[in-house]
Chain A
């Protein structure tokens, strides 16, 4: 049978996007393994007839310019993020065939988390892992897979177990996970290995094409430049030293047990019409009329984490949205779930909102002393300030600001739980600013408080805050 071995069609015949040097050769060094693997992937795309729907994801590393070569979809991702980007591409386009092509620095150092979790979720993608035991692109620094004793610019006396840890064996680690379908390590040391690598790449892509799940092929590849060897020496070195530390073979293969398309993840993105409907429903209430505002509200709500500061912001934003206005809600909080500080910025505006942050609020709710100290000075002259007088010790400037001192937590406690202090504040805020009628806000609360058994308590808290202001003022 006649046969021609030549440049696959899934590689461009001319590399138009290449900026330097010949447009018919790669940018790779002589003898670099990347070129061999590109050829084999492209040949598989040709033979499986999937180039048209393939997306090649190349993160940072010598192969960052994958899009020079592959006549498919291309995505140049941030360093280490390839598997996460591939996940997104695949889920948004379930019919695509997505290849996450990564070096060892990318896949096993900066991108370790993405690598493991994409495998653990069993994303229906193919990861091609070029293990050349070094950072090629940046000039030969130690990689996670650099071998004990191997010299690099950052291990000039050789990698040592004590100082740098052992080389990471990725196939072995991933093979412990239940989700992946196929994991194999191959090499480019000699023809026999290369032909096995070719087979593994084809198998991995076929698994994805058939929707059988996550496939991973690690390829031991020479980096003559980083290793400071000529190309034939580098191939020999690969055979003599790398294989021992990274044994070749199939680490997992359950492709036969997996039904076709059993690992398709058919995510259903929001249909545009549905989203529009949803936004309309949020904006114009079922039976509530839009409300004119005399002024925009630019609010800062601040206190301890756990006081419901962020929820207070969401409630007001929802009320503003129901009333037919533009709103934004922008939270800022510390790493602690409870006890740290939290604040949020809320804009309710008659015009489109540029930035969601609020630097000079005309409304401040301060539910603890540090918040009062931090934000009072930022309030515009004549603005409103609401202070939990049971918690804060300070007194705001009554000359400059419209001040409401309200023991919100204590009032809330009497209503049933101090947790609704935020809604007491909402009541006070609505009463003092006179922007939204009480019934209007309460009708909104009925809709947006998620847990039905808490609705009554929230309505009571709102009334208590409202009445506190009305009877006081």
Chain B
């Protein structure tokens, strides 16, 4: 068997409006806010890289259609 596939989430840096709602709902606390600004002057959220269960709660909490993608293999 190859390496085990793990669930993950990703935030589109440019589409995020930095509202932080995804951070509040994540049961695993694996989303954080970047200190960089995107071109719309928001501090986007990002996945800290480990521990996502693929529950999808951040996806539904996010008001932006294209900002979050969650993959649960």
Question: Number of B interface residues, CB 8 Å?
Answer: 30
Most chain B CB inside 10 Å of its own CB: which residue of A40, A42, A195? A195
Pairwise interchain contact B61-A194, C-beta atoms closer than 8 A: yes
**Count of A-B contacts judged by CB separation below 8 Å:** 97
Give Cα distance in the complex from A415 to B73, angstroms: 91
Chain A residue nearest to B39 (CB atoms) is: A22
Secondary structure of the B side of the interface? loop
Chain B residue nearest to A36 (CB atoms) is: B63
Q: Can you list 27 A-B pairs, Cβ within 8 angstroms, ordered by A?
A: A2-B71, A3-B56, A3-B71, A5-B60, A5-B70, A5-B71, A6-B70, A22-B14, A24-B14, A24-B66, A26-B63, A26-B64, A26-B65, A30-B18, A31-B21, A31-B63, A33-B63, A35-B63, A35-B65, A36-B60, A39-B60, A39-B65, A42-B65, A194-B57, A195-B60, A224-B19, A235-B24
Say which residue of A5, A35, A198, A232 sits within 8 Å of B64 (CB atoms): A35
The residues of B that contact A24 with a CB separation of less than 8 Å are 12, 14-15, 66
The residues of A that contact B57 with a CB separation of less than 8 Å are 191, 194-195
A159 at the interface (CB under 8 A from B): no
A153 at the interface (CB under 8 A from B): no
Pairwise interchain contact B69-A235, C-beta atoms closer than 8 A: no
Give Cα distance in the complex from A22 to B57, angstroms: 25
Taking the closest CB of chain B, its distance from the CB of A14, in whole angstroms, is 9
Most chain A CB inside 10 Å of its own CB: which residue of B18, B25, B61, B65? B65
Chain A residue nearest to B56 (CB atoms) is: A5
Most chain B CB inside 10 Å of its own CB: which residue of A32, A36, A232? A36
A283 at the interface (CB under 8 A from B): no
Pairwise interchain contact A34-B63, C-beta atoms closer than 8 A: yes
Pairwise interchain contact A22-B40, C-beta atoms closer than 8 A: yes
Which range contains the number of A residues in contact with the other chain?
Answer: 35 or more
Pairwise interchain contact B65-A8, C-beta atoms closer than 8 A: yes
A286 at the interface (CB under 8 A from B): no
The residues of B that contact A2 with a CB separation of less than 8 Å are 71-73
Given contacts A3-B72, A5-B69, A232-B24, contact A25 B61 (CB under 8 A): no
Render A2-34 as a binary contact track against B, CB cut-off 8 A, 1 for contact.
111111100101000000011011101011111
Which residues of A does B touch, CB under 8 Å?
A: 2-8, 11, 13, 21-22, 24-26, 28, 30-36, 38-40, 42, 69, 190-191, 194-195, 198, 224, 230-232, 235
Give Cα distance in the complex from A337 to B64, angstroms: 55
Taking the closest CB of chain A, its distance from the CB of B57, in whole angstroms, is 5
Give Cα distance in the complex from A13 to B14, angstroms: 15
Pairwise interchain contact A4-B71, C-beta atoms closer than 8 A: yes
The residues of B that contact A232 with a CB separation of less than 8 Å are 19-21, 24
Give Cα distance in the complex from A231 to B67, angstroms: 16
Taking the closest CB of chain B, its distance from the CB of A46, in whole angstroms, is 12
The residues of A that contact B20 with a CB separation of less than 8 Å are 230-232
CB-CB contacts below 8 Å: B16-52 with A: 17-21, 24-25, 40, 42
